[in-house]
Chain A
Amino acid sequence: MKRLRNSLGIAAGKATGRTMKILGRTSTALPGYVAERIGNEPLKHYLHNRKYAKTILVTGTNGKTTTTMLIASVLRAAGYEVVNNGSGSNLTRGVLTALLNDAREGDKSTLLLEVDEASMPAVCAATKPDIIVVSNIFRDQLDRYGEVDTTRKLLEKALDLAPEAELVLCADDPHVVRLGSGEGRSVTYFGLNAPGLKALSHDHAGDVPVSPITGSPLTYTHRYFGHVGKYQAEDGSFKRPSPDASVEIITNEQSAQIVTLKLRGVEHPVVIRSGLIGTYNTYNLAAALAVGMSCGLDMSLIVEALQQKNTAFGRQETVYFQGQRCQFLLIKNPTGFNQVIQSFFQKQATAPVLIVINDNFADGKDVSWLWDAALEDLSTTGRIVVSGSRAYDMALRLEYAGKDCEVIEDPMEALREITAESVDEVFILPTYTALLDLRKQLSLKLEHSV
């Protein structure tokens, strides 16, 4: 009976996907949702007899979508077909939707999924991954998850369900490193060695981690953002592991950065020239490179793939509106917001900025996170316009940060207003549903990683 219901659910999900395709619509979650409503564990059922050359899961608070896209680029360069959920639809229903829409499997196919932290236990149990990447663990939509400790425990539970999986972990986030302590587990660490990089002066987004062994507080010799940096426990019981892939030099150019990495046991440094800007993207690049290494791929092939023009849904995606160049920078939580500020709104910035804050379920219904973002450090000579269903919360936050702004509640009207004047570039900082709405209204085709 259970099997029958799962089969029925999957058939109904597939039919939903086909219907949407005929209607010219892209499905990111609905077919999976339909299958879940009818079946019991349709994801597990669907994957039961399917084989992939590699199954890779990417999770963590920030960087999932971009890292997934970069890994996809590497896998394709190596000749694999990639089955993945590239639109950031990362709950179990989104994962299932991606699978229902793409039936490829076998020796030449890889399954690459970005997975929401809360969906990790179910997805781990169903997919039996070969590699799990964890980027970082930060406050994110606490109304859904409760506390950061809860998120970490969810991931611990998920990893227990995938004891064979090799882990690719960020060495600079102590919450993430705790996940690698399991016995006999193969772990590849990536990290950043950038003594010149300092956290924003108003960065409140970190959480105070302690030594998992003794509870002793951690002290930092370098703090890059939040609780990410170089640390050790005061009593010496716990410290940052030395990364297997370590970013050593970051040089910024006009709309590109050059990232030099040192790899364990490799004499010559690896240099990647990427259009992805910002510290957070150096982590994403290092994570994808580490996955390529774990898959035993040729380094020159990996580097070449990472250098291709890669932009994920709403992350440094460029669009033109009224002839004006605009760049989307998705913001979802304080750390993500801070990294955008750190990368794009330091002293010399001149670009106008439109911030669109919604509080739908997918954005998080609690907007208190705006107060944990370092708006005090946002610097630009351009105008600041705020919009969205919680525009006035953003305006209030900016008022207390000492920044002048204008409120235009309707996002499209705000966009028309801010692009009216011709400048080099306009930055649009939307929350998730604000991004979806704006893109829809701009009638942009949903284009994912190439």
Chain B
Amino acid sequence: MSRSKISILYLYPYEMNTYGDWGNVLVLQKRLEWRDYAVEVIEHRPGDKLTKRPDIIFFGGGQDSGQGLILSDLNKHARRLHDWINDGVATLAICGGYQLLGHEFITATGESLEGVGVFDITTRAESGRLIGNVVLTSDEFGTVVGFENHSGRTYLQSGMKSFGGVEKGGGNNGEDKKEGILYKSAIGTYLHGPLLPKNPQVADWLIARALGVSNKELVQLSDRFVDQARAVITAR
């Protein structure tokens, strides 16, 4: 039996796509399809219209040049994205996408790029990059593993909840032992890897939010290789 179609809005798939981030979209799509949901991935490129409220939003990381290509389009749609995320649309934003959902990003040259402003964060670029394997722990997701590679230092405003506490790695800024943000049904994070293949609990949390069900109501999947793939990172 096929149920209603789930839509995934994939923001700037060509401009903001590095470190295999698109794999997150693949994981969301497959885990829905394996549970008999039909999935529609809507690729949004600069200049495209953005009208239909999606079930899930994905916004990946990009190079500086990629960010330059999308900024004016993002500003055009900022209000709508802001409202959707505030209204509880399941969202995953990685690295550049995470930064641009915040208030502002201050570049290495001191220029301020205005973000969507839905995440209560600010980011500034610094010369040293935080690069390496990361292990987080959180109440919602248990242990989360990934790989970070960023020069931006992000600071959560007071009262904002992080995606996880840093056990290993740099995290948001290399100082406060926090990584990412968890806001309503949205996650912002620096974790590549990509994030979702090795953290299916995070993928299923987003899916449950999108479907409006609890995690327990989701059909369990076999996930044959996940435990061993995670073990490689946590063992180091």
Which A residues fall within an 8 A CB radius of B?
Answer: 139, 142-143, 146-149, 204, 207-208, 210, 215, 217, 365-372, 389-390, 392-393, 395-397, 399-400, 407
Contacts and interface: CB of A to CB of B under 8 A. Distances in A.
Contacts of A407: 225, 228
Q: Which 5 A-B pairs have the closest CB atoms?
A: A371-B20, A371-B23, A392-B229, A368-B20, A392-B228
A329 B99 CA distance: 39
Given A369-B20, A371-B21, A400-B23, 11 more contacts: A142-B19, A146-B149, A207-B63, A208-B15, A366-B192, A368-B193, A371-B22, A372-B22, A389-B232, A395-B224, A397-B197
B32 to A, nearest CB: 12
A389 B132 CA distance: 16
A208 B18 CA distance: 11
A394 to B, nearest CB: 9
A368 B147 contact: yes
B65 A372 contact: no
Given A147-B63, A390-B232, A204 B22 contact: yes
Nearest to B64: A149
Among A208, A389, A399: residue with most chain B CB under 10 A: A208
Interface of B: 14-15, 17-23, 26-27, 30, 63-66, 68-69, 129, 131-133, 147, 149, 192-194, 197-198, 224-226, 228-229, 231-232
Nearest to A146: B129
A226 to B, nearest CB: 12
A74 to B, nearest CB: 36
A149 B197 contact: no
Given A147-B18, A147-B64, A217-B69, A392 B27 contact: no
26 contacts: A142-B149, A143-B132, A143-B149, A146-B129, A146-B149, A147-B63, A147-B64, A204-B20, A208-B14, A210-B65, A217-B69, A365-B132, A366-B19, A369-B19, A371-B26, A372-B19, A392-B228, A393-B229, A395-B225, A396-B229, A397-B23, A397-B197, A399-B225, A400-B27, A400-B197, A407-B225
B25 to A, nearest CB: 10
A204 B149 contact: no
